[in-house]
């Protein structure tokens, strides 16, 4: 299972990530950030498939996906090629 991390201070609240998440694992949070918007947060740590759609869609590079030690091959193709943990990051 993967884990999604969101840089809440960079989030501009556009909602693109909410729309594309097939697991409905993201929602609008209840805390206003420095940009004056309610940043997106993860619903639960155990619900992310690691598909990376939110990471791809975010225009402000707020999202990182961390693969867990035992992700599902059916939902995370990258996991078939690598074992253990890895991170995907915007530079
Ligand atoms: S990686 Fe996929 S399942 Fe996980 S939060 Fe992002 S869009 Fe949803
Ligand atoms: S796509 Fe990025 S900027 Fe837009 S709501 Fe999601 S995390 Fe925030």
Which regions of 14-89 does DSSP assign to beta strands (E)? 26-32, 38-42, 63-67, 86-88
How many angstroms separate the CA atoms of 19 and 85, rounded? 27
First to last CA, the chain: 24
Give the domain extent around 54: 3-88
Number of DSSP helices (H) and strands (E) in the chain, helices first: 2, 5
Count of domains forming the chain: 1
* Of 5, 8, 15, 65, best ligand 2 pocket probe by most atoms within 8 Å of the beta carbon: 15
Look at ligand 1, atom 6, and give the residue with the nearest C-alpha.
54
How many angstroms separate the CA atoms of 60 and 37, rounded? 14
Per-residue pLDDT averaged across 14-24, rounded?
97
Per-residue pLDDT averaged across 19-36, rounded?
96
Q: Give the pLDDT confidence of 53-84 residue by residue, as tens digits.
A: 999 999 999 999 998 665 444 445 554 454 44
The model's pTM is 0.77
CATH number at residue 35: 3.30.70.20
């Amino acid at each position: 299972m993967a884990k999604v991390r969101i840089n809440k201070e960079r989030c501009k609240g556009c909602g693109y990530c909410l729309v594309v998440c097939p697991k409905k694992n993201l929602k609008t949070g209840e805390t206003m950030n420095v940009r004056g918007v309610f940043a997106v947060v993860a619903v639960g740590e155990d619900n992310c498939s690691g598909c990376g759609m939110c990471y791809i869609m975010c225009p402000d590079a707020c999202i990182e996906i961390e693969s867990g030690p035992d992700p599902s091959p059916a939902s995370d193709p990258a996991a078939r090629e690598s074992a253990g943990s890895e991170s995907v990051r915007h530079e």
